[in-house]
Amino acid sequence: MKTLKDVISLKFKTSESEGVIFHGEGQQGDYITLELKKAKLVLNLNLGSNQLGSIYGHTSVMTGSLLDDHHWHSIIIERHGRNINLTLDRHMQHFRTNGEFDYLDLDYEITFGGMPFSGKPSSNSRKNFKGCMESINYNGNNITDLAKRKKLEPSNVGNLSFSCVEPHTVPVFFNATSYLEVPGRPSQDLFSVSFLFRTWNPNGLLVFSNFADDLGNVEIDINEGKVSIHINVTQVKKNRIDISS
């Protein structure tokens, strides 16, 4: 399948920071891969390289951040020869691919949600996408609808459901003056807390709690982008323990 123009669009949401959204490759070395890396969107594209190495077609573009927030994000890739428009959530980035070739030659199947094992080192290190996709459109073909009606030939669908499971977690937003206070457990000897957080601020208090009977306190905060834990104990000589990462 050799094309001069391509239009690929879809919407996705996920809580994972890594995963292949779609992938296609050809026998001549052409490939296109859209994936999440460290919660950023990365498009890898090669319209062809020669064996002598004088023409190197690999092109990689990164855009966006914090895309593992389990909110819907829209992607549109428009290609005409070496000219590419990559649009993420209505923010468009224009670039030209490296090399001298204009056609994308994909001999093998195009896969969405992962990439088949090919024996290449690159296929082993990449994770499959884990999350939800909708409105998958490839060059005018509604892939979502065709897959649901089993009209894709050939196709290989593994562990796929046509519904999107929502997480049971409820996020809480804090501004500069808000806080959440919950009752303690004075009869317990064990202090345990776990949570997920996301912030743009390099400094801030995350958790604070006094121990019972005035035995001290524990404080978890962000200091210059690092999480620090401070434990103050009043009944021993070394009355402060600091942990930072």
pLDDT in tens, 83-95: 999 999 999 999 9
Q: Which residue has 């459901």 as its token pair?
A: 161
Gyration radius from the chain CA atoms? 24
Residue type, 85: N
Q: Which residue has 């345990």 as its token pair?
A: 192
* Angstrom distance (rounded) from CA 135 to CA 141: 10
Q: Where in the chain is the domain with CATH 2.60.120.200?
A: 2-148
CATH number of 2-148: 2.60.120.200
pLDDT in tens, 154-203: 566 667 777 887 766 677 888 888 888 888 777 777 778 888 888 888 89
Residue type, 199: T
| CA neighbor of 214 nearest in space, from 230, 231, 234, 229 | 234
pTM recorded for the entire structure: 0.69
pLDDT score, position 213 = 77
pLDDT score, position 128 = 92
* Angstrom distance (rounded) from CA 121 to CA 84: 27
pLDDT in tens, 194-233: 888 888 888 999 999 888 777 888 999 999 889 999 888 8
